[in-house]
Amino acid sequence: MFARLCNLFGRVNVDGREARERRKDAGLPSESNEGRRRWTWRIWRARRHTSSTAPDVSKKKFKKEKERLTTELHLLIQLRNEQRDHLIDFKESSNYNRNLHSQLLMEKNLKMSITQNQKNKEVQIDWALIEKYLVDLNLNGRTGADQQP
């Protein structure tokens, strides 16, 4: 930057160190950008702090929205857990009902087989009685026929 200024003013053979040393002795600011950077940083920070009322409002809205969303999330999680519990209860009750239905069918089939067995036994007893009656008739008929001729 100093070389450019020298070219503009027509001073080509000027040592930049001498000028800088004189400025330091005179209490003038140096040519480095350090001071300028600090100044812009300070301005930037000052602007940021002075305009903090708008972000405070948005921060408050953000906090309220965040709290609302977290409470809504907790409520949704609670609702999901309740629904899951209901589903588990429903599955357990349906399994119980299925097991109960299976047990009732087994009992019904067992009763039917028992009654069928009893009927079969009664029929067997009836057949045995009929057979005995027929045998007795045949024996009586032969003994009576043997006696008549």
pLDDT, tens digit, 9 for 90 and up, residues 7-45 = 777 655 555 555 555 555 555 555 555 555 555 555 656
Q: Which two tokens stand for residue 102?
A: 């299976």
Please name which of 53, 133, 84, 41 lies closest in space to residue 141, comparing C-alpha atoms: 133
Average pLDDT of the residues in 41-54: 56
Distance CA 111, CA 103 (A): 12
User: 120 pLDDT exceeds 60?
Assistant: yes
Q: Strand, coil or helix: what is 64?
A: helix
Say what the pTM is.
0.36
Q: Phi, psi at residue 127, to the nearest 5°? A: -65, -40
pLDDT in tens, 76-106: 999 999 999 999 999 888 888 888 888 889 9
Q: How many CB atoms within 10 Å of residue 6?
A: 15
Provide the 3-class DSSP secondary structure of residue 11: coil
Q: In Å, how far from its chain's centre is CA 99? A: 30
Average pLDDT, the chain: 76
From the DSSP assignment, how many helices (H) and strands (E) are in the chain? Answer: 4, 0
Better-scored residue on pLDDT, 51 or 77: 77
